[in-house]
Copies of this chain bind each other. A is one copy, B any other.
Amino acid sequence: MSSHPPTHRKVTLNDIAAGCALSRATVSLVLRGSPLVNRETRARVERELRLQGYVYNRAAANLRRRTSTSIALVLNDLANPFFAEFAAGVDEALAAAGYVTLLGCTGESASREQAVLSSLLEHGPAGIILSPAEHSNAQDVLAAIGPLSPLLLFNRELGGVAPEKARWDQLALDNQRGARLATEHLIERGHRRIAFFGGHHDSSSCSQRRAGFVEAMQAADLPVEPAWQIECAPTRLDAAHRTAALFGGDAAPTAAVCYNDAVALGLMLGLNQRGLRPGKDFALTGFDDIAEAALGMPPLTTLSTAPHERGMQAAQLMLQRLHEPHTPNRQTIAPVKLVIRASSCPPPAF
């Protein structure tokens, strides 16, 4: 008995059923590992499946079952290693749970975010993990995703809706505590004139970090000099350009708490250009602990956020939410860890 010549049509349940002289329904039961089916027929079916090279059509199954086995992951910037590792973590945990990741990148544009969200939604993900673009607002996001899919926000808040009414879960870093730790560390090293450098004031993570900075300064009775609160885009380049702003007045700071590692690395460049040696003449800290931080010249004191683990955590939170759709919203704050390296030297004259 020869099997049919390999046609180029996709092989379906019907083909298998026909090949075994069984009904579609029985074969379906085998596929789902039902205990109802006889050992022997199961074996027969499984042989046929292998023989014909059957591949399960999850889309059709999901259509009928009104379920979904995919989760959308929408990121503002995949090229940033922090998010790339996060994505790897999400995918790993989702795959382990039998889900598949639908990827979407927004490139920090709120309008592309809209487009990406609605395109992904058409593929019917069970849920959405979103790291919002900079000026994305809750109204639009909620309108795009509708009332059906659970949403997990990562890393940034979403403006425009009272936190009480938010119908999403959230996973954020402990920005405030992290910045406080970094500031306390610099104070302990003997610094008294400390700047907060980088980030945009309308970004939630930036204002949280700044709050941690202020908290530590005030606890130590140190002045928070307004002239040393420097804003800049969270990129190396802009940070390097804005370095001069620190040294405008008569007294200059001896250290800076930077918004993140990218900014800190940029500030290092700017310092070098002014003839100041970071880690010797000027101390600084970052945030994120990206790979480059350990390799900088000098290596950068920073806050480790374990992005891969955050990704796995985000996936877990989403899976829990799918399992219990009606529990109240969760706000999860992930701990961060101060990693002390050579960039946080004592002040020169100390």
Give chain A's interface residues, CB within 8 Å of chain B: 6, 8, 10, 53, 55-60, 62-63, 66, 69-70, 73, 77-79, 81, 83-85, 87-88, 91-92, 95, 98, 100-105, 107, 115-116, 118-124, 146-148, 236, 265, 269, 291-292, 295-297, 308
Chain B residues contacting A66 (CB-CB under 8 Å) are 10
Please give me the residue from chain B that is nearest to A56 by CB atom: B122
Known contacts: A81-B81, A100-B119, A123-B58. The answer to whether A6 contacts B88 by CB under 8 A is no
A63–B64 Cα distance when bound, in Å, is 11
Instruction: Tell me how many chains of this kind the complex includes.
Output: 2
Q: Is the CB of A55 within 8 A of B104?
A: no
Q: Is the CB of B308 within 8 A of A79?
A: yes
Q: Is the CB of B105 within 8 A of A103?
A: no
Known contacts: A6-B147, A59-B62, A63-B63. The answer to whether A123 contacts B103 by CB under 8 A is no
Chain B residues contacting A295 (CB-CB under 8 Å) are 236, 265, 269, 292, 296
Please give me the residue from chain B that is nearest to A75 by CB atom: B88
Please give me the residue from chain B that is nearest to A297 by CB atom: B297
Which residue from B79, B107, B269 sits with its C-beta under 8 Å from A84? Answer: B79
Chain B residues contacting A115 (CB-CB under 8 Å) are 95
Chain B residues contacting A6 (CB-CB under 8 Å) are 147
5 contacts between A and B (CB under 8 A): A81-B81, A84-B84, A87-B103, A100-B102, A269-B295
A102–B87 Cα distance when bound, in Å, is 12
Please give me the residue from chain B that is nearest to A296 by CB atom: B295
A76–B31 Cα distance when bound, in Å, is 29
Chain B residues contacting A102 (CB-CB under 8 Å) are 70, 100-103
Q: Which of A66, A69, A77, A122 has the most CB of B within 10 A?
A: A122
A296–B63 Cα distance when bound, in Å, is 52
Chain B residues contacting A83 (CB-CB under 8 Å) are 84
Chain B residues contacting A265 (CB-CB under 8 Å) are 295
Q: Is the CB of B297 within 8 A of A146?
A: no
Please give me the residue from chain B that is nearest to A236 by CB atom: B295
Chain B nearest Cβ from A243, distance in angstroms: 15
A100–B116 Cα distance when bound, in Å, is 9
Which residue from B62, B98, B103 sits with its C-beta under 8 Å from A119? Answer: B98
A sample of 13 more A-B contacts (CB under 8 A), given A70-B102, A102-B102, is: A55-B121, A57-B122, A59-B63, A59-B124, A78-B87, A79-B308, A87-B103, A95-B105, A95-B116, A100-B103, A100-B104, A100-B120, A101-B103
Which residue from B55, B73, B77, B118 sits with its C-beta under 8 Å from A146? Answer: B55
Which residue from B84, B122, B292, B308 sits with its C-beta under 8 Å from A55? Answer: B122
Chain B residues contacting A291 (CB-CB under 8 Å) are 292
A63–B123 Cα distance when bound, in Å, is 12
Chain B residues contacting A84 (CB-CB under 8 Å) are 78-79, 81, 83-84, 87
